[in-house]
Structure 1
C-alpha cells in the first residue's frame, strides 16, 4: 500500500490507535475466532506501524492497513501453530480468502463483538470488563477504576474470562434475535462505561476522549435501531445525548473543568437536548421504567432549567428515589446526596455521604469535601480534597481539586 508523502508523527499514530483499535480487534475476532490471537495480531500490527510510519508516513487508509497487517500476522501465526490444539486455523484461512461474513441481526463488527463477549456463561462483571478491554482499548488500570477495584484483581478477571471462552469453546457468532434481550444489560453497561471514559478520562492530560464518546453514541444509535421497543436501550441513548449536549460548556478555554452550576447554558447543544428529551418522553409512554431511563430523566430536568438556580431539585430527588428502589448502588446514593444538598442543605447531604462505603472513589471524597466547605469546616474539607486528589489521575480533575485546596488554604 502506498504511503503518504510526509512522515507520521507519534501523535498521529496514537490517534489512529485510539480511534481504530476496537474496530480492528472486532474484525480480527470475527476472522480468526480467537480473542487472544486477534488482540495479539492487532498489537503487533500497531508495533509495525510505530516502526514504519514515522519514516514512510501514514498510509491512505490507516485503519485498513492495520486490519490487513493484523490479519496477515494472525494467519502466519496460525499456519505455524496449526498442529496445536485449540487453534482455529482453518476458519481463519477461509475467512482470509473472502468467505462471506456470518449473517444475523447484528451487522456492525464492534456491536457484534459486544454481544459475543456478553455471553451468559460468563459473570456479568467479567463480560463488561473483557469487552471494555477489547473494544474500547481501555487499559486494565482504566477498567479497574471504572469498577472501583484494584488493577491486579481486574487483570485476573479479564484473564479468567478469556480462558473460559477458550476452554468452553463459546462460539464467536452473532446471537439469535431471541438471545438479544438476555444479553442486553451487560451490553448497555459496556456502552455506558465506554462513554464515561470518553466523557471524563480516568487518566492523562486530556479531560475527554472524543473517539470514545463518539463510538458510544454510535453504538447507542445502532442498539436503538436494533431494539426500538426496548425502553432501556432508548433510555441509554437519551442519557448519552443529554450528557453530550453539555460538552461544549464543560471546559474553559484553557481546558479547566467547569462544574454544571457554572456552565454557560447558551453553549449547550439544543438539537441533542431536543432529541434526548423526545426519547425520554417515548420511554414514559412505554411505561417500563429502568435505571438508564431514570438517569436520562434526571438529565432532562437539568436541560430544562434555563439557569442553575431554576433547577427543579425536588423532582431530581424523586427520580433518584425511584432509581434507588429499582437499582440501588452506592454511586447512585452519592448522586442522590448531591441533590439532597440542594433541597435539604449540606448537613443532611453530608450524613448520607458519610454512610456510604466509597473510599476508593475519588468523587465521593470530592463531594464530601464540597459539603464540608459549604458548612465552614475548612480543615476537614482540606483533608477530603487531599483524599480525592490522591485517587484520581485525570490532570483536569487534579487541577480543579488543587484549585479548591488553594482557596481553602
Structure 2
C-alpha cells in the first residue's frame, strides 16, 4: 500500500503530466493554475486557512493560539522544469503540509502560526527569471525587474500574470520567524553514504557565463595548421584549462561547461566561431570571485596565444548564503531524537531558501535522490526516505512553533 505522501505526490503530478511520463508545469499556465487550485481545495478540506498573494504564491495557515502574528513557515515551489519528476518542489509542498497536519494532530494547535508556502515560480523554465515567487514575497524583486521579459511565444511575464488576475504589487512579508524548505537532494551524496537526511548549512553562489570565441572559417584541406584561427581549437583549450582549475581547487568548487556550439559546424570547414557556457559554484564568495577571475584571465591568455577574439558575457550571478545556526541545531537535535542518520552538507543547487535566508532564519532538509537523478521523470526517492524527511520536519516545526 502506498504511503500518504507518495499518494498525494502522484495526485498533484496529474496537473501538468506530459506525454513523457513527467511533469511540465510552467508558471502562469493552465496546468499550473489547475494545480494551484487543486492544492488550495485540498488544504482547505484539511483545515488550513488558504490565501493566494499578488503573484500567485499560495499560503496555507494553521493559526497560532497565543502568538498568531509570528509565523513558522515551510514549503517549496509549484512550478517544474520541462519533463520534470514528481519530487522536485512538490515534495516540499506535500511533505510540508503533512508535517504540519501530523504535528497538530499529535500536539494540538501551535503557539505560533504554522504556514505552508507553495511558491509560484522557482525554476525559471518559462521566463528567464528564477525564484520570482520568493523574491517578490520577501521584497527582493519588484515588477520593474520583469519589464519586457517574455517566454518562447513572446508572451510577457506581466501579461501572463495579468491573465490570471495577479498584479504583482504587494508589501514584503515580515511576519516569518523561521523557514525550513524540505527538498530532494538532487545529488547522490546521501545515497552513497547511506544516510537518510542532509541538513543544509549553506547554499553555493553561482557565476554563469556565455563565452563566444571568434576565429576565422576556412577550408579544412587547404589551410595549413599554422595559418589557422581555429575557434574550436582555442575554445577546447579554454574548456580544458577552466576544468583543470576546478580540479585543482577541489571540493566544494565545481565548474561545468554544459553547452558547446560550433559555427558553421561543417565537417570540412575550420570553425570560425565557438560558443560555450561556463557555470562556476562555491560556498565562499571570496573563493568564487578569485576562481572566476583566474578563469577569465586564463581564457584571455589562450585567446591571445591562439590569435582569436573572446567575449565572456555574464548572465547569472548569485552569492553564497549561509543557513541559520539555530535552525541547523534544531534540525540536528530532531534527527538525533528520531534516530535518523544525517549529515551537515551544502547545497550545490539554487533554492528558494537562499532568497528567504537573507530575511529570515532558514535552513533546508534534504532527502536522498536515487543515483542523484533530478529534473527528470526518472528522479526517485524511496517512501522510507520521504517519511524520514516528514518525521524530522514535523519535530523541528514542533520545536519552533510550540
Name the TM-score, length of structure 1 as normaliser.
0.26
Bigger RCO (CA 8 Å, 6+ sep): 2
Name the TM-score, length of structure 2 as normaliser.
0.26
Per residue, is there more helix in 1 or in 2? 1
